[in-house]
Amino acid sequence: MLLGFAPSGDVVRDAARGVDILFMSNGPFRVELIAPIDSSSPMYPLYKKHKNMPYHICYECEDIERT
């Protein structure tokens, strides 16, 4: 896969948000891909605005208070 990422599971349908979700991994790095199921998805306007661009970044740490 491009950039060395590979699926780390199956596509999961989140009916509550109206999206399909797929996690991709490359070593310790993980990316969550989402795709609106259709135009009724609450995520659809965000997708229309940003297309295939990242719209937020998350970090994980063991101790949020110390970090």
pLDDT in tens, 2-12: 789 999 999 99
Give the bridge partners for 6, in sequence order.
25
pLDDT digits (tens, 9 = 90+) for 2-47: 789 999 999 999 999 899 999 999 998 899 998 999 999 988 988 8
pTM, full prediction: 0.75
Helix or strand or coil: residue 47? helix
The per-type count for the chain, helices as H runs and strands as E runs, is: 1, 4
pLDDT at 41: 92
In 3D, which of 40, 64, 65, 45 has the Cα closest to residue 55?
Answer: 45
